[in-house]
Amino acid sequence: MAITTSVTLAAKRATKNVPIVFYAGTDPVSTGLVESFRKPGGRLTGIHGQSTGLAAKRLELLKEMVPRLRRVVTFYRPDSPAAQESVKIARDAARRLKLELVERPVASVEELRAGLRALQPGEADALLYVADVMVASQMELILESARAKRPTMVQERGSVAKGALAAYGESFYTIGRHSAKYVQRVLLGADPAGLPVEQVDRLYFVINLKTAKALGLTIPRSVLARADEVME
């Protein structure tokens, strides 16, 4: 079982015969994981989500919640195909929304830590998550760095419960349940080549009002009305 596109690509390179069930937030056909959605054609199959393409919507929602928003910082690995695509989407959205996207490429967790420590007051009004598995693995560090300083828009509910301002993305719980069904079928002898890749399209928008209050933000009613969950 491999989580995210970059991890799946690494698992594919490292093995020759082992079946792989994946969750990929980037198109698995364009990244070479499978031949097609209906007929994967090899030893890989799994779940395709929308994580990579959500950067634009996250930025739009962030601007609605933070009217004074001007500069948004994002950290990502420059050698990750998913991160590269997600950053491009965020870059285009920022241009459309008349925002400045402050890009911080980081090649390791150590560089990410250093980059977070180096952020100066006023350098960025908020922090935006783009699809990057390394950055996601350090979300608690990011939240600790941003707490009471700047709004953080992330990818999943758990991080909002821990203090992020908001999240827009997929349910990790749902992805896990769907992936487990594929794992079971493969373990029972099914050939991944003939198991169609499943697409997950249900998205969730979660807001933390306690964090908003700590940051001095008043979330517009129109935004709260669109949230799937509001934490108080």
pLDDT tens track, the chain, 232 positions: 999 888 999 999 999 999 999 999 889 999 999 999 999 999 999 999 888 889 999 999 999 999 999 999 999 999 988 899 999 999 999 999 999 999 999 999 999 999 999 988 888 999 999 988 899 999 999 998 887 689 999 999 999 999 999 999 998 888 999 999 999 999 999 999 999 999 988 999 999 999 999 999 999 999 999 999 999 9
Question: Which superfamily, per CATH, for 2-50+171-199?
Answer: Response regulator (3.40.50.2300)
pLDDT of residue 192: 97
Residue with the two structure tokens 């799946």? 8
pTM, rounded to two decimals: 0.87
Q: Show the CA angle centred on residue 99, arms to residues 231 and 155, nearest 5°.
A: 35
Each residue of 167-204: b (16+ CB within 10 Å) or e?
bbbbbeeebeebbeebeeebeeeeebeebebbebeeeb
What residue spans in the chain does CATH classification 3.40.50.2300 cover?
Answer: 2-50+171-199, 52-169+204-231
Task: List beta partners, residue 74.
Answer: 103
Class of the domain covering 52-169+204-231: alpha beta
Each residue of 48-72: b (16+ CB within 10 Å) or e?
bbbbbebbbbbbebbbebbeebeeb
Would you say the C-alpha torsion 228, 145, 60, 24 has a positive or negative sign? Answer: negative
Q: Catalogue the E-assigned strands of the chain.
A: 2-3, 20-24, 44-48, 71-76, 100-105, 126-128, 152-154, 166-169, 198-199, 204-208, 229-231
Residue whose C-alpha is closest to residue 196's, from 41, 30, 5, 16: 41
